[in-house]
Amino acid sequence: MAILETDRLTKSFGALAAVSGVSLAIEAGTLHSIIGPNGAGKTTFFNLLTGALAPTSGTIALDGRDITGTPAHRVPHLGLARSFQRTNVFPAFSLFDNVWVAAFARAPSRKGIAWRSADRYPEARERALAALADVGLAGKADRPVREISHGEQRQLELAIALAASPRVLLLDEPAAGLAPEETKKLVALMRGLKGRYTIVLIEHKMDIIMSVSDRVSVMHFGSLIAEGTPAEIQKNAEVRRAYLGGVAA
């Protein structure tokens, strides 16, 4: 059954339809990739799913329930978490505080929020440490963000999303700007996360897409032009024309 489903989702900026009539069903437990050239509307699509932007028309359903128009700060509580294409963390914080803030947002109880010491929420603390351990940053919990490398910041970006204990994880180009070895580590990490979460992945690097995805959807000028298994997408002529352009032809 589809855990996340959009129906003719559209977002227009003036005359430009950045996302145009996208109907997509994400099956629970799968890793579903969305690919497409720059400007195809992939990130805008994520912004619609997370409530950062309101759609012009169309609906979004989570577990069959219509969640269209839910404000951005409510969406994480429905079990949807995202990472950002450009690292979007809390620069003056330690790595631990970065993930702790994400974990506490989903704490079962905010009792004593203005009075009790922040150290005295063991559940949030454990979830924060587990998220750092998941991405391999447990040893650097107390380091400030400015002291870690770009690759590690990308891992932190992912850890923040994980700390929110989501059911659906929306990852926006987690490999952006990574060196080849770092990319390999990330692919291994994605394989580990697969199955534990339903993952929607926006990515440019075809080798990542082809090796981790269960299904692939292709966006072009705001519309979906193809969907299938990685093998099917690779063979699809229309995709080759749109996405790979002259290189493959």
Partner 1 sequence: MSRALIAILAAIVVLPLVVRPAIASEIWIFAIFGLGLNLLLGYTGLLSFGQSTFFGSAAYVAGWLLKHYAINVFLALGIGVAVGAASAALVGYLCVQRSGLYFIMLTFALNQLFYFIAYQWTGVTGGEDGMPGIPRPDFLGIDFGEPLPYYAFVSALFLLSLWIMKRIVESPLGKILQAIRENEVRAEALGYDTARFKLAAFVIGGAFSGLAGVLYAMLFGIVPLEAIGFVTSGNVVFATLIGGSGSLYGPVIGSFVFIWLSESVSTLWARWPLLLGVAFVIVVLFFRGGVVEAWARFSAWRERKWRSSRQTG
Select 12 or 50, whichever has its Cβ closest to partner 1.
Answer: 50
Site for partner 1 in 133-192 (CB under 8 A): 160, 164
Closer CB to partner 1, 125 or 241, in the complex: 125
**How far is CA 6 from its chain centroid?**
16
Residue ranges in 191-230 that form contacts with partner 1 under rule CB under 8 A: none
CB of 47 to partner 1, least distance (A): 10
Neighbours of 20 (CB within 10 A): 19
Give the span between the Cα atoms of 226 and 55, in whole angstroms. Answer: 22
- Count interface residues toward partner 1 (CB under 8 A): 35
Among 130, 135, 142, 127, which Cα is nearest to 156's?
135
Backbone angles phi, psi at 7, to 5 degrees: -125, 110
From first CA to last CA, the distance across the chain in angstroms is: 37
Q: How far is the CB of 207 from partner 1 (least distance, A)?
A: 29
* Site string (71-110) toward partner 1, x via CB under 8 A: xxxxxxx----x-x---xxxxxx---x--xxx-xxx---x
CB of 93 to partner 1, least distance (A): 7
CB burial of 160-172 (b: ≥16 within 10 Å; e: otherwise) equals bbbbbbbbbbbbb
d(CA 175, CA 39): 18
Q: How far is the CB of 197 from partner 1 (least distance, A)?
A: 17
Q: What 8-state DSSP symbol labels residue 112?
A: T
Measured distance CA(49)–CA(35) in Å, rounded: 16
Which residues in the 5-24 window bind partner 1 by CB under 8 A?
A: none
**Among 1, 14, 117, 246, interactor with partner 1 by CB under 8 A:** 117
Nearer to partner 1, 65 or 73 (CB): 73
Q: With binding defined as CB under 8 A, does residue 49 bind partner 1?
A: no
Q: Distance (Å, rounded) from C-alpha 32 to C-alpha 202?
A: 9
Instruction: Indicate whether 121 belongs to the interface with partner 1 (CB under 8 A).
Output: yes
Beta carbon of residue 27, minimum distance to partner 1 (angstroms, whole number): 25
Paired strand residues for 83: 171
Of 39, 42, 105, which is closest to residue 72 (Cα–Cα)?
105
Sole binder of partner 1 in the list 1, 114, 247, 249 (CB under 8 A): 114
| Least distance CB 122 / partner 1 (angstroms) | 13
List interacting residues with partner 1 (CB under 8 A).
50, 52, 71-77, 82, 84, 88-93, 97, 100-102, 104-106, 110, 112-118, 121, 160, 164
